[in-house]
A and B are shown apart, each in its own frame.
Chain A
Amino acid sequence: MKDSNLFARAKKMKYTFLICLICSLGLLAEATSNINQIVSKTLGGPKLEMCDDTTFIRRVTLDLAARLPTIREVKVFIEDKRKNKRQKLLNRLIGSPSFVDYTTMKWCERLRVKSEFPIKLWPNAVQAYARYLEQAVSSNMPYDQMVRELLTSSGSNFRVAPVNFYRALADRSPRGIAAGVALSFLGQRMEDWSDKEQEDFAKWFESVSIKKTREWKEEIVYFDPGKDFSDKTLVLPEGHEITIPWTEDPRLKMADWVTSKENVAFKRLAVQRIWYDLMGTGLLERVDDLQAEDLKSQHPVLIYLEKELVESGWDLRHVVRLVTESQIYQQKLSNSAKLPKWARYVPRRLEAEVLSDVLDQVLRWNESYSSKIPEPFTFVPSNQKTVRLDDGSISSRSLELFGRSPRDTGTLDEKNLDASFQQSLELINSSSVQAHLKRHFLVNKAKKKKDEWKTWAHEAYLHVLSRFPRSEELAFLESHFQNQDQSREEKAYDILWALINSREFIYRH
């Protein structure tokens, strides 16, 4: 009896152990399987087809690090036989210096980091503001904390960088500030609210004051309690009344409300922005213009990602990781897939800064920049990445041509991803593209080495498009290479030119 009892107990323990093991394994895999399950449940249709390795490495390197993978990276990745290599790659990219630069750039757009004559920030303030954002991104500062600091800081805008959130608003009246807060952190146009709501919200910012100092163009943002020494009763957008003692800066309670985990608009906008940056579309169609019905939406993927954002301690990288790990992000593009708009990976033209850096990478381009702000002179080293330009006023002809964000309002529609014939002219025919192609190392290689043309074509495709040429492409190139009228050098030049002008190069896909 005793023995059998023991045996039964041992058996029971074994099961418990097994169950524990399964549970813990499950927990590990839960996060990703969850998003895949939720997506497929929401879609209801057949299983998503996944993209191939070369498509994935190009897609994820561009989307997270704003560059192309190197030839070596592509080759190593393809040969890697580990099952979790995609996860390993995106983990390596998230948090890399390029990821920090690119994410900082997006915040600089949203928060209007730009020196502009004769309004807005002076270059000293721009640099402080941009550096602050860069540090927030590189230390992966919890999102609620970052917004809290931007909303509640006081001091000189050269020294206490986050106060530039207020200083960079074109309209610094209480109403203008309120509209800026609604736009930047709640994804809402205050004009859409009722008059009463607008008035109530503006009152929270009545004690924000800005004064000049004796240092040129320096300003101090501070809390001015006013002269009536009376406590204030202020109303939150959802109708809740709060009494603030006259000695207390109302921005503190305001920031509590903005960043609270119950504030749907706050977390919704954060998730929408991430989904849009990675997928090219919002989970809800109006990405950063959330209307009342958008705030009521029960989109399961949105709800899930919002929950993950809050429970991870407002870790934005965690959400980026969840999305890029998912099957939906790694989907194969095809004509036949009948996916709803939110579930598609949308091929889109590279934005101005990224295109400039990618051309730099492929052509050794080295764009030069100029600023309309006469002084203090901003020196930009020629090898600096365009994505890293912190000041929106430092620009170049091609950045303007390819629709860089003017950083006036910080909304997504400011950035122009449309194609224009002037852009085509630039890539097809501009003197700088031609000059760089003419002395390109691959052109020299074609001239010097009598490599077999197929080997050359492989390298050219890997260098520009991050993949191997397909058989039909090789067949087409073979006829081009057999043309006797042109030198090898000219042929190589024209092929590289064609690859750079192909939509496959200019687009994310």
Chain B
Amino acid sequence: MDLSRRDLLQWGAGLGASSLALGSLGAGTIASKSAPAKSLIQIWLWGGSCHLDTFDPKPDSGSDYSGPYTKPIGTKAGFQICEKLPLLAKQSNHYSLVRSLTHGVNGHETASYLVQTGHFPGKDVYPGVGAVLAHRHRQTVKNPSIIPPYIVMTKGQGRFSEAGFLGSSAKPFITGGDPDAKVFAVEGVVTKGLSRDRQVSRRNLLEGLDKFEGRFGSYGNLSQATEARDKAYELILGDAGKVFDLNLEKSELRDEYGRNSFGQACLAARRLVEIGTPVITINFQGWDTHKKHFESMSTKLPELDQGLATLIRDLKERGLLDTTLVWCSGEFGRKPKIDHRPPWNGGRSHFGNAFSGLLAGGGLQGGQVVGSTDEKGMEVKERPVYPWDMTSTIYRQFGVNSTETLLHPQGHRLPLIPPEDEKHKYGGLLDELV
């Protein structure tokens, strides 16, 4: 069948006019019907990890650059990663690396904002990718789960507001607690030292005393408060909250994920994906290593290796990897040249010129390496990937078209992806991975 010019115009107009905030997405766009990704697990290496010590090793750059890591490992040529990541190295066919991320900003706040929103700071404060996807989920899903669509473990981003101008309704649910503790005390859902019986008897006490409505009438939004409380108890006492109960997992599997906060957070993320949670962010802290860099790496890297590798494998084995996009990156890399001067004494400072990220699943191919840096990891050598290239690619995997707009509370619409201008140069979507 031939598409008439008018059909094409209408089709184009439909895409252009569809808006997240109006909820016309999903149902209306063609892309989302075939969108491969349903869930996003964002592993945020908070503070910025060094590309040389993770996914872009430079064994021949000299010890001033490579430090002690001179024997990268990998199952195939051109896909070598740091020797401290052996488990990840073994399953390189399930994920791809982007070695040419760049934005040139060395401040945490601006860099975090850039990488997570895909915009340079300007007049409007944009929401991050997670907030946009969760917001979209809220507006298109008819019977939403009681588990909030955007879960952050265990601390909030802190560098900027995840929800931006989308406002408080788009904010994530921040778990607090420690998934590696005996009980993962998710803030508000699980309270340490309070047995189930006590919770039940408390609820009875509350309901026995709280006769407010009967006396004062039902106007105002009193019934809403009753519904909210009932819903909260579904999480506290019902089955819904069990998604956070990691003791329901086999002990061996928990060991494989690593008995540390990050590893167990990865396990919790998998459990959340299983019940259909669209966005999970793990803020993995401890990468901002101005001092004692290599000492820190000797514990951080094995934690990352165990947690992330087991997560990818576990998702794959359960048939969830095709619909789950795993995105691992920090706000920037760290300076390839090690700073041996006091007070740093062997630390690495911020480096926005070049850094690496990892992408797995969600319809993206594994086993690929996109872009490269020069022999010391100082500059991007080929195929620069800017933050907006990355966010557009992620959005596309979720069926969100790059021409879409977001509704600002003050009534105007803003482009989801920044238009190309002096600040925003494009390297292009990561078509290599499709």
A: which residues have CB within 8 A of B? 116-119, 170, 191, 280, 333-337, 344, 346-349, 370, 372, 374, 397, 400-401, 403-404, 406, 408-409, 414, 416-426, 428-431, 434, 473, 476-477, 480, 494-495, 497-499, 501-504, 506-507, 509
Contacts and interface: CB of A to CB of B under 8 A. Distances in A.
B228 to A, nearest CB: 4
Contacts of B224: 418-419
A502 B409 CA distance: 33
B298 interface: no
B174 interface: yes
Given A118-B121, A118-B123, A419-B224, A425 B232 contact: yes
B231 A116 contact: no
A494 B187 CA distance: 19
A417 B167 CA distance: 15
14 contacts: A118-B125, A333-B217, A337-B217, A346-B220, A347-B219, A348-B220, A414-B409, A419-B224, A421-B232, A422-B232, A476-B208, A494-B202, A502-B206, A503-B212
A416 B168 contact: yes
Interface in B176-220: 176, 185, 187-192, 194, 198, 201-202, 205-206, 208-210, 212-213, 215-220
B220 A425 contact: no
Given A347-B220, A429-B188, A502-B209, A424 B228 contact: yes
B366 interface: no
B410 A170 contact: yes
Interface string B15-34: 00000000000000000000
Contacts of A420: 228
Contacts of A349: 221, 225
Given A431-B185, A497-B202, A498-B205, A117 B235 contact: no
Interface in B244-297: none
A169 B221 CA distance: 32
Contact of B171 (A400, A424, A495, A497): A400
A247 to B, nearest CB: 34
B176 A418 contact: no
Contacts of B194: 429, 434
A507 B212 contact: yes
B86 interface: no
A504 B222 CA distance: 10
Contacts of B188: 422, 425-426, 428-430
Given A170-B410, A408-B410, A425-B188, A473 B209 contact: yes
Given A170-B410, A476-B208, A502-B209, A421 B235 contact: yes
Contact of A428 (B176, B217, B226, B236): B236
Contact of B222 (A426, A473, A495, A507): A507
A233 to B, nearest CB: 31
Contact of A335 (B185, B218, B225, B409): B218
A27 to B, nearest CB: 37
B209 A499 contact: yes
Contacts of B192: 431
A53 B219 CA distance: 22
A509 B229 CA distance: 19
B268 to A, nearest CB: 17
A431 B191 contact: yes
A339 to B, nearest CB: 9
B122 interface: yes
Contact of A170 (B123, B161, B167, B189): B123
Contacts of A473: 209
Given A170-B123, A408-B409, A423-B228, 7 more contacts: A119-B125, A334-B216, A419-B224, A419-B225, A429-B188, A502-B209, A504-B212
Contact of A419 (B125, B146, B221): B221
